[in-house]
């Protein structure tokens, strides 16, 4: 990945004063900040397009959906990428709508757009430029008019983007001998486009099926607003922009074989803005009858809302029972809050008033706070990396001990045990033990213990299992039993 997120996380670590010992939550602060910026930028865009109340609603929607609640709690690129995308698109929206009204474009807007694009490239490559390019292309296809793009000051803007990204790009290309670009562009990006990468190759339709989860609890309200906006597409350029923000980006990622839920996150603010817009209409206009196919789509989304709401409520109660074998009293208010959010999110009237939007956001926020802050941390079996780190610390024979791990390759393991950790297979763990028999440790599935013993016996060595860790791999849901091994002297 590009350097931007590492710079930001390094800054967070430096500010924490913890240095290399900083806990993982310090790194996650960058994601929390990214979501906060995205929420404010969505509200800013909505206020400029549709008025203050609409902006407030759009911001509340973005703050309370499951996608942002999840992404704001991990230490990845996507939350800060979302922030850059919303800032860039917000500036682009104001340039476009001002031009359509023959009004003067604020001189600051082009520079906001280009700085956001440069920052986004440093965080996750060309995703933000792709989003804006698709938006512009669809608007042109609809209107056949490029003239408003002159307000972007593209020449100076592109020069600014190059000024932002080129120093690092030149240095990393020189330092890596071109390997970085080969990996980042050739393998990571183009590989995902050409075929399913990271074991996440899925057919088109994945984002339709997961929409109700990642836009929960506002998925149904957003669909209703989006359908009404679609019916008024020709009347209002602001709605054209919002639809051009969401639809082409979503369709493109449906066609790309590699699919992960967060890939379409930059499109969601377009839907949130339309929820805010619907609030500005008279009730009789906002609740105008939908076409037949739209009604079917609305009811399908309502079913998705009910399914996800029920699933989250059950998860809050069942997860501690299944994984930890105990009942958590936090499960009851979490489940009730989830049911409340789902109930309020189901409205036969397409237009939902501000007070109800706020109540939905409060219920959803309560669910997330209890689910992510209390229930999930109590599920000891899914936090295998913590148990492995404790076992390594208790059985480390040397200060220089390095762990080789087979069958468990989670990033959290490397973070907790150390960046020298070797991710390999059973053969690799055997070789690791043989190379440094006095100090090395190996982690392997207990089911592969005989194979490990055989590989070592062939070299006249034997290993002793010094610890056993049982749990569930949270990435795959697979139950695992791992052994920690060292050579017997």
Q: Average pLDDT of 98-107? A: 92
Collapse the DSSP code of 196 into the 3-class scheme (helix H, G, I; strand E, B; otherwise coil) and give the result.
coil
135 has a pLDDT exceeding 90: yes
Lowest model confidence (mean pLDDT) among 75-84, 130-139, 182-191, 218-227: 182-191
Q: What confidence score (pLDDT) does residue 185 get?
A: 67
| Contacts for 484 with CB less than 8 Å, ≥ 6 apart | 388, 391, 392, 395, 441, 442, 443, 465, 466, 467, 468, 469
Is residue 321 very low, low, confident or very high in pLDDT (cuts 50, 70, 90)?
very high
Check residues 30 and 145 and name the one with the higher pLDDT: 30
57 has a pLDDT exceeding 60: yes
For the sheet containing 422-424, what is the strand order? 422-424, 403-406, 441-445, 478-487, 463-473
Is residue 186 very low, low, confident or very high in pLDDT (cuts 50, 70, 90)?
low
Q: What confidence score (pLDDT) does residue 383 get?
A: 92
Q: What confidence score (pLDDT) does residue 423 get?
A: 96
Q: What confidence score (pLDDT) does residue 190 get?
A: 59
Tell me: the pLDDT tens digits for 331-341? 999 999 999 99
Domain limits of the chain?
Answer: 4-376, 381-487
- Give CA angle at 36 (86, 251), nearest 5°: 35
Q: Average pLDDT of 366-380? A: 95
Q: Average pLDDT of 175-185? A: 75
- Give CA angle at 304 (300, 310), nearest 5°: 145
The percent of residues above 70 in pLDDT, for the chain, comes to 96
Q: What confidence score (pLDDT) does residue 81 get?
A: 98
Q: What confidence score (pLDDT) does residue 178 get?
A: 74
Q: What confidence score (pLDDT) does residue 254 get?
A: 94
pTM, entire model: 0.91
Q: Average pLDDT of 269-297? A: 95
Collapse the DSSP code of 2 into the 3-class scheme (helix H, G, I; strand E, B; otherwise coil) and give the result.
coil
Rounded CA gap, 48 and 68, in Å?
22
What number does CATH give the domain 381-487? 3.40.190
Phi-psi domain of 418 (left: phi exceeds 0; alpha: psi -120 through 50; beta: other): left
| Candidate ranges 232-236, 313-317, 323-327; pick with highest mean pLDDT | 313-317
129 has a pLDDT exceeding 80: yes
Q: DSSP H helical segments within 265-410, as ranges?
A: 268-278, 283-286, 292-319, 331-345, 354-370, 384-395
- Give CA angle at 264 (47, 415), nearest 5°: 110
């Amino acid at each position: 990945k590009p350097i931007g997120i590492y710079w930001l996380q390094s800054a967070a670590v430096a500010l924490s004063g913890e240095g290399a010992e900083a806990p993982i939550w310090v790194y996650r602060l960058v994601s929390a900040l990214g979501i906060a910026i995205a929420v404010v930028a969505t509200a800013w865009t909505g206020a400029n397009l549709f008025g203050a109340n609409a902006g407030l609603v759009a911001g509340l929607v973005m703050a309370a959906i499951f996608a942002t609640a999840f992404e704001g709690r991990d230490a990845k690129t996507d939350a800060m990428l979302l922030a850059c995308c919303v800032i860039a698109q917000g500036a682009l929206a104001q340039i476009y709508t001002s031009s359509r009204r023959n009004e003067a474009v604020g001189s600051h807007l082009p520079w906001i757009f280009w700085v956001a694009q440069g920052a986004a490239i440093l965080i996750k490559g060309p995703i933000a430029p792709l989003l804006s390019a698709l938006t512009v292309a669809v608007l042109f296809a609809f209107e056949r008019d490029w003239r408003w793009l002159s307000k972007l000051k593209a020449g100076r803007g592109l020069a600014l983007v190059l000024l932002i990204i080129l120093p690092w790009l030149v240095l990393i290309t020189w330092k890596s001998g071109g390997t970085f670009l080969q990996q980042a562009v050739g393998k990571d990006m183009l590989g995902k486009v050409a075929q399913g990468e990271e074991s996440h190759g899925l057919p088109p339709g994945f984002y339709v099926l997961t929409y109700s989860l990642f836009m929960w609890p506002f998925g149904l309200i957003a669909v209703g607003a989006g359908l009404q906006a679609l019916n008024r597409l020709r009347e209002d350029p602001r709605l054209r922009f919002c639809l051009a923000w969401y639809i082409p980006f979503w369709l493109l990622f449906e066609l790309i074989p590699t699919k992960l839920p967060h890939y379409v996150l930059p499109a969601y603010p377009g839907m949130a803005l339309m929820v805010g817009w619907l609030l500005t209409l008279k009730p009789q206009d906002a609740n105008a009858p939908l076409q037949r196919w739209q009604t079917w789509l609305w009811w399908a989304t309502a079913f998705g809302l009910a399914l996800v709401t029920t699933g989250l409520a059950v998860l809050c109660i069942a997860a501690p029972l299944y994984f930890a074998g105990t009942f958590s009293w936090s499960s009851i208010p979490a489940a009730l809050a989830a049911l409340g959010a789902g109930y309020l999110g189901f409205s036969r009237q397409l237009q939902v008033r501000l007070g109800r939007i706020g109540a939905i956001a409060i219920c959803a926020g309560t669910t997330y706070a209890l689910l992510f802050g209390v229930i999930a941390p109590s599920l000891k079996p899914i936090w295998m990396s913590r148990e492995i780190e404790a076992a390594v610390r208790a059985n480390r024979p040397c200060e220089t001990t390095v762990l080789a791990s087979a069958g468990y390759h989670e990033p959290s393991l490397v973070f907790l045990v150390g960046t020298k950790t070797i991710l390999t297979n059973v053969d690799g763990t055997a070789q690791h033990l043989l190379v440094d028999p006095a100090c090395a440790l190996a982690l392997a599935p207990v089911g592969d213990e005989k194979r490990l013993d055989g590989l070592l016996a062939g070299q006249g060595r034997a290993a002793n299992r010094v610890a056993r860790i049982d749990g569930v791999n949270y990435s795959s849901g697979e139950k695992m039993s791992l052994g920690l091994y060292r050579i017997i002297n």
